[in-house]
A = this chain, B = another copy of it.
Amino acid sequence: MAEATLIRNQAEEVKALQDTIYVIGGKWKLPIINSICNGNKRFRQIERSIPGITTRMLSRELKEMEMNKLIKRTVYPDSPVLVEYESTPYCKTFGNIILAMIDWGKEHKKYIQEEN
């Protein structure tokens, strides 16, 4: 009985984990979310804040994330046209994951440096 619930919970948890991986999978989504949550609003600003990303990848991911209500895109049609990206409350629910991953990355770096 205790084992049965343990097994069921495990099954549920793997699925939850896999769902999350599905949503934020890939190389760029989390860095983009992180950048926007840190207050970067403009396209080139976000682009510059993420090492290695290309305009094409950023453009694609932003479009997808807008469709999925992760971010809000606003166009100010003055001249020159101004575009702003903002995070939605939904986007902010990734905060804990991002923080945990930043932490791990920092610890990992220390660990690597101590090894040498």
Choose the segment among A54-62, A71-79, A80-88, A90-98 that binds chain B (4+ C-beta atoms closer than 8 Å): A90-98
A26-64 residues with Cβ-Cβ distance < 8 A to B are 27, 30-31, 34-35, 38, 49-52
Knowing A14-B34, A14-B50, A21-B27, the reply to whether A93 touches B97 (Cβ < 8 A) is: no
Interface size on A, residues (CB 8 A): 40
Copies per complex of this chain: 2
A31–B101 Cα distance when bound, in Å, is 16
**Which of A17, A30, A93 has the most chain B CB atoms closer than 10 A to its own CB?**
A17
The answer to the question of A8 belonging to the interface, with a C-beta cut-off of 8 Å to chain B, is no
* Cβ contact within 8 Å between A106 and B16: yes
